[in-house]
Amino acid sequence: MKKANKYILLTPLLLWLFLFLVLPYCFILAQSVLTTDHFGKVIYHFNVDSYIKIFTNALYYETLIRTFIYAVIVALSCILLSLPLAYFIAFKVKKNKSFYYTLIVLPFWMSYIVRAYAWKIILGEQGIFNSSLMNLGIIEKPLRFVLYSDFSVILCLIYIFLPFVCIPIYTSFEQISKSLVEASKDLGANSWSTFTKVIFPLILPGVISGGTLALVLTLGDFLAASLLGGPNTLFISSIVQNLFGTSNDKPLGSAVGVVLLVLVFLLLELSSRYEKKHETQ
Amino acid sequence: MKKIRSFIISFSAFSVLWFLYFPILIIIWFSFNKESVSSFPIEHYSFDWYIKLSHNESMIQAVKISFFIAILSTIAALIIGIPSAYALHKYNYFGKNLLLKIILLPITLPGIVTGVAMLSFFPMLGIPLSLKAVLIGHTTFLIAIMITQILARFKKLDPYLEMAASDLGASPLRVFFKVILPNIKTAIIGAVLLSLVLSMDEIPITFFLISRDNTLPIEIYGMMRRGITPEVNAVATLVFLLSSAAIFMSLKFNKEN
Amino acid sequence: MSKLELKAINKSFGSAHIVNNLDLQINDGEFLTILGPSGCGKTTTLRMIAGFEIPNSGQVLLNSQDITNLPPYKRNVNTIFQNYALFPHLNVEENIAFGVQQMKMSKMEINKRVDEMLELVQMQAFKTRKPYEMSGGQQQRVAIARAIAPDPEILLLDEPLGALDLKLRKQMQFELKQLHKDLNKTFVYVTHDQEEALTMSDRIAVMNRGVIEQLSDSKTLYNHPETKFVAGFIGEANLIPVKIENKSSFTFEDKTFEFEHQNDNKEAVLFIRPENVSFDSETDIALTVRIEDVIFVGNHRKYKLVTASGQKIIKTEDSSLALTKIIGQSVTIYLSPNLIQIFNS
């Protein structure tokens, strides 16, 4: 009776996940090694053409590399911006810590598109950015490249993913016992040395965790590119969106999706191995 | 020297905070702009766009659909999630760690991957692209949310409570309803609020599973792609205010317990 | 017919054999304590009586009925836990009523029972309080009331006083003993504190490494321990290694003394309580020692003695006696054959 309970409780979950999660993922794996006919209908004929295409056609592999580079830029920028804020709240704020923490968390809960949209207003030709610069006499004509370009997409992504990165970094700052800092100073290290030798190594897991998150999120993002990108802006996920939409090449789209999947798993595995190696708690 | 450093840190911190909130404030500000062109500075203010919004049929329809999907998928995720979290907490299974990883896949992997996977396979199950598909998609990723939140609460629960209840004669069913459930109440409420908000904001998975009826974020996305209409500012402001209210409520609730 | 019987109980966790072929019979209405160091299997044994663990082999019999495989909620046995385990979402009244609500009683009867229990543990004023609003000692009382309310056949107490400070502990020991007398119920108590066991119990089962080494009342345990472990665990003991040639003598430091015993191992251990080591009462078993140290311990005095071969021996005596020896002095101590025992090593 007791043993039966154990499996009965879990059955709905197992059934649901199998049908609606596991099978779909298996299916795109399978779909990636099929082809289509001219009308876009999927033909069940095994081949690896899609994968060959990805690795030989510059459009695909260049976009993949470019997106990855952008992802690194976004991750590094988010980390750099998070550090002072997280440090400030963890070490410099005595009362109302939870209030500041709420301030970081709040945007994280807010609608993605709303936050992306703001940049359209700010960076437009008549937007705040250009208008202010013109009013100050720094430029004569509005800067066109700030909107509908790779630049605006990256800026937007940094903005949206900042809370995702700041929260794990803040958490790891918080976990540093004050007595460690005191011990370091007591032993003769100045503030900078204390930061580089004691604090930074201890927050590294949080930094890696947040950075990996930003990487994965950027690789998977197609919304910012479609809202703020220019005609030449192409992110790898935009390609997937296209292949399942207007271009209607499901096998190729699946193949790109699988490559993306593998890349994401690799990043997550590396990150978790690093964290296990540097466990301090 | 110390003071200068202290100042630099505080200044940087507040600059970043300002960076986080400045765009939101801009949207709210511009939602009251009378002109349709978002030029700076604003010449005239009005509530026009909010009024126009209240007449926007497709927007109102999208809001209704989003609510509908959010509530149904949250309920479905609760029904599947609570007993599963209980079982995962209480028992050991062969392959438990793998199962936990699979449960989390909708959150770990980019939404687009989950979205296209479901798009490709659901028709095979006889589920066409429709709100039904969206419902299933949302429920699947909300299950991940439910299980993580509730499992975390279970970990903090005193293991002796269950033993004491059983010792005093309560059957396993009674133990669950009279002792376990009341003590994870707060986690459930928090998880429900989080689920509702996340469902109402979901885009990547929804994008690939809808057909004709739009959810709110997809509707807004469409509006934004077409250009900048200040109506969007009004919607955005309203969404922001509602989300903030929801979060404050949930945080306050957590604090009280 | 005993109230509770454990027959040939074995319990292992993985490769660790925790309880080893255990037999125990508990009489109706007695206060029995299972005493032993951590890891000896006493808590596991208690949990098998309660139903939280099922033995790998053997039987648990309550009133001669086999309850070995029954789940806890089907056994008429209740437990008082060390961390109290009061339900945080219920107040005192509701906590106490919990077990009673499972029985077919009317609301009025339940309320009456709860009130009786509150009076029993003197917690009437706390009726509507929540657990987090009460101190450890108060929570302990509610835990006791809650366990007794459903009128179980046996009450199990799993180191219930472990979390209390010394003074409160002593007080609760007294109250528990009083409760036992008033209720006339069978109590099975688990502790590692031998003083606690000695003061409260009718009988004590001393457990070590999964077996019961001795089951007797306090006096017998103290004066006539049956094994080296029991001798060392209860009270203070001198355990002096000696050599055995035959069953009528033992040898220490090349001197052989006549003494009848049952051991045939070459290596054995001589046991004598510190208070039974004498400077004056002459016997045949005499040893020469040097006084290494004299320590004042409140109402008694402790001599740290050492023999020629370096064997340490402790003697205690009442502080009110005149101190006639000095540190460094060489003296003779006498061991009375009535007060020594030889154990296997």
| Per-residue pLDDT at C28 | 93
Question: How wide is the angle at C-alpha B234 spanned by C-alphas B228 and B238, nearest 5°?
Answer: 135
Of A9, A162, A223, the CB nearest to B84: A9
| Per-residue pLDDT at A280 | 60
Q: How far is CA C56 from CA C22, C59, C62, C156, in A?
A: 12, 9, 18, 21
Q: pLDDT tens across C44-68, in order?
A: 999 999 999 999 999 999 999 999 9
Burial class of residue B172 (count of CB atoms within 10 Å of its CB; 0-12, 13-18, 19+): middle
**What gap in Å lies between CA A111 and CA B247, rounded to an integer?**
13
Beta bridge partner(s), residue C79: C156
**What gap in Å lies between CA A86 and CA B20, rounded to an integer?**
14
Given a contact cutoff of 8 angstroms between Cβ atoms, the answer to whether B52 and A144 are in contact is: no
Given a contact cutoff of 8 angstroms between Cβ atoms, the answer to whether C188 and C47 are in contact is: no
pLDDT tops 70 at residue C157: yes
Q: pLDDT tens across C186-210, in order?
A: 999 999 998 999 999 999 999 999 9
DSSP readout, B24-82?
Answer: HHHHHHHTTBSSSS--SS---B-SHHHHHHHT-HHHHHHHHHHHHHHHHHHHHHHHHHH
Q: Is C35 left (phi over 0), alpha (psi -120 to 50) or beta?
A: beta
| Per-residue pLDDT at A135 | 75
Phi/psi for C65 (5° steps) reads -100, 135
Lowest average pLDDT, out of A40-49, B32-41, B94-103, C327-336, goes to B32-41
Average pLDDT of the segment spanning A190-207: 84
Cβ <8 Å between B27 and A10: no
Of C73, C98, C150, the CB nearest to B171: C73
State the residue for tokens 């004023």: C125
Confidence of residue A2 (pLDDT cuts 50, 70, 90): low
Q: pLDDT tens across A236-276, in order?
A: 999 999 999 888 888 889 999 999 999 999 999 999 888 88
B26 vs A contacts (CB less than 8 Å): 118, 121-122, 128
Confidence of residue C246 (pLDDT cuts 50, 70, 90): confident
Question: How wide is the angle at C-alpha C167 spanned by C-alphas C163 and C171, nearest 5°?
Answer: 90
**Domains, chain A, ordered by start:** 59-252 (1.10.3720.10)
Q: Minimal Cα–Cα distance from B181 to chain A, Å?
A: 15
pLDDT tops 70 at residue B39: no
Cβ <8 Å between A27 and B24: no
DSSP label at residue C278: B
Q: Work out the mean pLDDT of chain B and round it to a whole number.
A: 87
A246 vs B contacts (CB less than 8 Å): none
Q: How far is CA B137 from CA A281, B37, B147, B198, in A?
A: 36, 37, 16, 13
Beta bridge partner(s), residue C223: none
Q: Minimal Cα–Cα distance from B145 to chain A, Å?
A: 13
- Cβ of residue C206 closer than 8 Å to a chain B Cβ: no
Average pLDDT of the segment spanning B59-88: 93
Which tokens is C64 given?
Answer: 């001669």
Give percent of chain A with pLDDT exceeding 90.
36
Cβ <8 Å between C102 and B168: yes
Q: pLDDT tens across B200-210, in order?
A: 889 999 999 99
Question: How wide is the angle at C-alpha A238 spanned by C-alphas A237 and A241, nearest 5°?
Answer: 90
Average pLDDT of the segment spanning B30-58: 73
The CATH label, of 2.102.10.10, 1.20.1090.10, 2.40.50.140, 3.50.50.60, for the domain at C236-344 is: 2.40.50.140
Confidence of residue C222 (pLDDT cuts 50, 70, 90): very high
**What gap in Å lies between CA C209 and CA C230, rounded to an integer?**
12
Confidence of residue B165 (pLDDT cuts 50, 70, 90): very high
Residues, chain C, total? Answer: 345
DSSP label at residue C342: E
pLDDT tops 80 at residue B49: no
pLDDT tops 60 at residue B257: no
| Per-residue pLDDT at C98 | 92
- Cβ of residue C132 closer than 8 Å to a chain B Cβ: no
- Kindly list the partner chains of chain B, i.e. chains with 3 or more CB atom pairs below 8 Å: A, C
Lowest average pLDDT, out of A266-275, B26-35, C156-165, goes to B26-35
Disruptive mutation site among C87, C104, C113, C148 for chain B (greatest number of B CBs within 10 Å): C87
Give percent of chain B with pLDDT exceeding 70.
93
Q: pLDDT tens across A141-170, in order?
A: 777 777 788 888 999 999 999 999 999 999
**Domains, chain B, ordered by start:** 55-256 (1.10.3720.10)
Cβ <8 Å between A113 and B124: no
DSSP readout, B189-236?
Answer: HHHHHHHHHHHHH--HHHHHH-SSSPPHHHHHHHHHHH---HHHHHHH
Question: How wide is the angle at C-alpha A75 spanned by C-alphas A72 and A76, nearest 5°?
Answer: 85
Closest CA to C188 of C34, C40, C53: C34
Of C52, C85, C102, the CB nearest to B169: C102
pLDDT tops 90 at residue A93: no
Output the CA torsion sign for A169, A172, A177, A183: negative
| Per-residue pLDDT at B146 | 94
Q: Work out the mean pLDDT of chain A and round it to a whole number.
A: 85
The CATH label, of 3.20.20.100, 3.40.50.850, 3.40.50.720, 3.40.50.300, for the domain at C4-228 is: 3.40.50.300
Which tokens is B48 given?
Answer: 């026009």
Average pLDDT of the segment spanning C7-36: 93
- Cβ of residue A212 closer than 8 Å to a chain B Cβ: no
Given a contact cutoff of 8 angstroms between Cβ atoms, the answer to whether B187 and B57 are in contact is: no
- Kindly list the partner chains of chain A, i.e. chains with 3 or more CB atom pairs below 8 Å: B
For the entire predicted model, the pTM comes to 0.82
- The reply to whether omega before B41 is within 30° of 0 (cis) is yes
pLDDT tops 90 at residue B238: no
pLDDT tops 90 at residue C29: yes
Cβ <8 Å between B169 and C71: no
Complex-level ipTM: 0.86
**What gap in Å lies between CA A149 and CA A155, rounded to an integer?**
10
Confidence of residue B234 (pLDDT cuts 50, 70, 90): confident
pLDDT tops 70 at residue B178: yes
Q: pLDDT tens across C305-317, in order?
A: 999 999 999 999 9
Which tokens is A124 given?
Answer: 């437009």
**What gap in Å lies between CA C186 and CA A64, rounded to an integer?**
75
B84 vs A contacts (CB less than 8 Å): 9-10, 12-13
Of B91, B120, B232, the CB nearest to A27: B120
| Per-residue pLDDT at A5 | 75
**Domain parsing of chain C, residue ranges:** 4-228, 236-344
Q: pLDDT tens across A99-114, in order?
A: 888 888 888 777 888 8
Enumerate long-range contacts of A186-194, CB under 8 Å, 24 or more apart.
A191/B2, A191/B5
Higher pLDDT, A278 or B57: B57
| Per-residue pLDDT at B37 | 60
Of A9, A117, A162, the CB nearest to B20: A162
Closest CA to C3 of C22, C23, C21, C30: C30
Give, for C180, the enclosing helix (H) or strand (E): helix C166-183
